[in-house]
């Protein structure tokens, strides 16, 4: 079960990994996030969860940034926050909240979130 959750988490990461900071610095992306640019919050959160782009790995900061991204309408942010809740990384372990966030991401067009919703119902994990 834990291995499947890790595999699904890595799948999510790989699907949104294209959101790397690239030429922008972490400070620039952080400033964009602070101005309400939800996609930048997602990008910064990914950098914190992976410990890349010169940032130290920090699950708490990543979860906060994914929340901002999700609240800003970015489906991938909702999916990442759902995964954080599913695993208890940076937030409390809450599989029901994870399901809600995966459903929101699914409705937002994230096929991987739809698959995870299906898996949760199929296995009864969190529902």
**Token duo for residue 126:** 């969190």
CATH number of the domain that 112 lies in? 1.25.40.10
Structurally, the chain folds into a number of domains equal to 1
Task: State the chain's mean pLDDT as an integer.
Answer: 87
Domain that holds residue 27: 2-122
Q: Look at the alpha carbons of 6, 12, 17, 20 in this order and tell me if their dihedral is positive or negative.
A: negative
Q: Is residue 55 part of a domain?
A: yes
**pLDDT higher at 59 or 4:** 59
Gyration radius of the chain over CA positions: 14
Q: Is residue 80 part of a domain?
A: yes
pLDDT at 84 exceeding the cut of 90: yes
Q: Is residue 85 part of a domain?
A: yes
SS3 content of the chain, % helix, strand, coil (to 5): 70, 0, 30
Q: How do residues 94-105 score in pLDDT, each as one tens digit? A: 999 999 999 999
The pLDDT confidence band at residue 40, using thresholds 50, 70 and 90, is very high
Q: Is residue 127 part of a domain?
A: no
Q: Is residue 118 part of a domain?
A: yes
* Burial of 86 per CB tally in 10 Å (0-12, 13-18, 19+): buried
């Amino acid at each position: 079960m834990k291995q499947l959750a890790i595999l699904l988490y890595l799948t999510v990461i790989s699907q949104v990994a294209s959101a790397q900071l690239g030429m922008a610095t972490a400070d620039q992306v952080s400033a964009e996030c602070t101005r309400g640019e939800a996609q930048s919050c997602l990008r910064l959160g990914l950098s914190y969860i992976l410990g890349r782009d010169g940032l130290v790995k920090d699950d708490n900061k990543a979860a906060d940034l994914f929340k901002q991204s999700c609240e800003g309408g970015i489906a991938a942010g909702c999916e990442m926050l759902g995964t954080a809740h599913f695993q208890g990384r940076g937030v409390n372990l809450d599989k029901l909240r994870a399901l809600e966030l995966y459903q929101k991401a699914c409705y937002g067009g994230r096929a991987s979130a739809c698959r995870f919703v299906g898996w949760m119902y199929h296995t009864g994990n969190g529902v």
